[in-house]
């Protein structure tokens, strides 16, 4: 037993969400849902993690109920699940039931790819890809309503909360990012107006699911279009964004970084999750580089080895930087990772072939 990790095995609660420990499975695109429908293999995949002490699972990105929400992206995505239509909803009911039977909790990550989606790509090749520069008021209203419909479906299916993908250069993030949003109307310009679209989405989701269901919002500095991008150059600019989102109804921020321990701003050792926790007054989830010596993008092209950096995770957790610890690649490659961390057992090595399997 690794007693030094005991703080990470304390319970956490937020509104109706109660989890037994601080470990979260981070959302990872898996491309195993033909026709947008998650099958028994997807249920098995999540159930294995739930039965192996993963306190909370955030699903792979799920396309919201809008024609241009998903399609082929920069990594050739296909077979992305959706959260509308009888077959898909029944598939997700099975996933949720299996996770709950394993003692876990699960939330769906609702996703609109925005400009990252290639035009004319399935499942709706007739739909144009959306970005801040080509959306009129009707487009904005349609997307807001799509997030709300999908959130309501998630509640009906039995999910334990809602996660919104507002990071990595996808649609919600693209509105907040100055380099992408060149509008000069109510949806662009200064940082407050650039944040207005994701705020409206959060407000609509909150109305759809009620006051007690927790909303998690993924946020990042880096973008798929630019790994060195900055959503905010200063804590003050970041504060405008996260305070507005918190007031709109965000309960937890899922703070996606390339390396969780990397300082977010000059003259401070604190990571981005710590800054967002301080600025928003909301709990945060850290993710990025836990378990391996290379960050995500580098691990696709460089030799990657196991790195046990949980002592640093605990140090920053106890310093109050974050409340939850999300694990991506390590849990993809080893469903037993949390159990092994607790027992002090050796972790499985990095295995890039895991991206092509669902196990």
Residue 297 has pLDDT above 80, yes or no: yes
Burial of 214 (0-12, 13-18, 19+ CB in 10 A): buried
DSSP 121: -
Sign of the four-CA dihedral 114, 120, 122, 128: positive
Residue 272 has pLDDT above 80, yes or no: yes
Strands (E), the chain: 12-14, 17-19, 23-25, 56-63, 105-111, 162-165, 215-220, 252-256, 284-287, 324-327
Q: State whether residue 353 is helix, strand or coil.
A: helix
What is the pLDDT, as a whole number, of residue 8? 98
What is the pLDDT, as a whole number, of residue 114? 97
Q: Which of 71-75, 79-83, 295-299, 300-304 has the lowest mean pLDDT?
A: 71-75
What is the pLDDT, as a whole number, of residue 25? 98
Q: State whether residue 136 is helix, strand or coil.
A: coil
**Contact indicator for 133, 183 with CB cutoff of 8 Å:** yes
Percent of the chain with pLDDT over 70: 100
What is the pLDDT, as a whole number, of residue 283? 98
What is the pLDDT, as a whole number, of residue 335? 97
Specify whether 170 is catalytic: yes
What is the pLDDT, as a whole number, of residue 1? 85
Percent of the chain with pLDDT over 90: 97
**Nearest-angstrom CA–CA distance, 313 and 295:** 15
End-to-end Cα separation, the chain, in angstroms: 26
User: How many Cβ atoms from other residues are within 10 Å of residue 168's Cβ?
Assistant: 23
Mean pLDDT of 5-32: 97
pLDDT averaged over the chain? 96
What is the pLDDT, as a whole number, of residue 153? 98
At residue 76 the predicted structure's pLDDT band, cuts being 50, 70 and 90, is: confident
At residue 247 the predicted structure's pLDDT band, cuts being 50, 70 and 90, is: very high
Express each pLDDT in 203-244 by its tens digit: 999 999 999 999 999 999 999 999 989 999 999 999 999 999
Nearest CA-CA partner of 321 in 254, 358, 279, 270: 270
What is the pLDDT, as a whole number, of residue 62? 98
Mean pLDDT of 277-296: 96
Mean pLDDT of 283-306: 95
Mean pLDDT of 328-339: 97
Q: 45, 46, 170, 227: which is the annotated catalytic residue?
A: 170
CA of residue 6 relative to chain centroid, distance: 25
Q: How many angstroms separate the most distant Cα atoms in the chain?
A: 57
At residue 303 the predicted structure's pLDDT band, cuts being 50, 70 and 90, is: very high
Residue 344 has pLDDT above 90, yes or no: yes
Distances (CA, A) of 320 to 43, 68, 100: 34, 39, 29
Element (H, E) at 40: helix 40-50
What architecture (CATH level 2) is domain 3-356?
A: Alpha-Beta Barrel (3.20)
Residue 74 has pLDDT above 80, yes or no: no
What is the pLDDT, as a whole number, of residue 109? 98
What is the pLDDT, as a whole number, of residue 73? 84
Residue 141 has pLDDT above 80, yes or no: yes
Express each pLDDT in 171-194 by its tens digit: 999 999 999 999 999 999 999 999
**Contact indicator for 227, 288 with CB cutoff of 8 Å:** no
**Contact indicator for 15, 251 with CB cutoff of 8 Å:** yes
Mean pLDDT of 100-127: 96
């Amino acid at each position: 037993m690794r007693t030094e990790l005991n703080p990470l095995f304390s319970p956490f609660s937020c509104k109706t969400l109660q989890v037994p420990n601080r470990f979260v499975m981070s959302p990872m695109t898996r491309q195993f849902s033909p026709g947008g429908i998650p099958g028994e293999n997807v249920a098995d995949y999540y159930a294995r993690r739930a039965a192996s002490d993963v306190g909370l699972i955030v699903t792979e990105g799920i396309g919201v109920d809008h024609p241009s929400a998903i399609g082929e992206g920069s990594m050739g995505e296909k077979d992305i699940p959706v959260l509308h239509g009888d077959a898909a909803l029944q598939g997700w009911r099975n996933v949720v039931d299996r996770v709950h039977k394993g003692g876990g909790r699960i939330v769906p990550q609702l996703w609109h790819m925005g400009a990252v989606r290639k035009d004319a790509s399935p499942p709706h090749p007739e739909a144009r890809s959306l970005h801040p520069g080509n959306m009129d008021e009707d487009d904005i209203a349609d997307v807001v309503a799509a997030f709300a419909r999908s959130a309501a479906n998630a509640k009906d299916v039995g999910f334990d909360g809602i996660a919104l993908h507002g990071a990595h250069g996808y649609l919600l993030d693209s509105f907040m990012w100055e380099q992408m949003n060149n509008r000069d109307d109510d949806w662009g310009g200064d940082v407050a107006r650039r944040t207005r679209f994701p705020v409206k989405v959060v407000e609509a989701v909150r109305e759809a699911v009620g006051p007690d269901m927790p909303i998690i919002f993924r946020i990042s500095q880096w973008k798929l279009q630019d790994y060195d991008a900055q959503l905010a150059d200063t804590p003050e600019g970041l504060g405008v964004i996260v305070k507005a989102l918190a007031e709109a109804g965000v309960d937890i921020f899922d703070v996606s970084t390339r390396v969780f321990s990397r300082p977010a701003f000059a003259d401070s050792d604190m990571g981005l999750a710590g800054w967002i926790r301080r600025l928003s007054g909301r709990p945060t989830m850290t993710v990025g580089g836990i378990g391996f010596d290379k960050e995500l993008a580098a691990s696709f092209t460089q030799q990657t080895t196991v790195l046990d950096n949980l002592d640093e995770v605990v140090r920053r957790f106890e310093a109050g930087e974050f409340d939850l610890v999300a694990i991506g690649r390590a849990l993809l490659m080893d469903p037993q990772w949390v159990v092994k961390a607790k027992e002090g057992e050796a972790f499985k090595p990095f295995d890039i072939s895991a991206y092509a399997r669902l196990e």
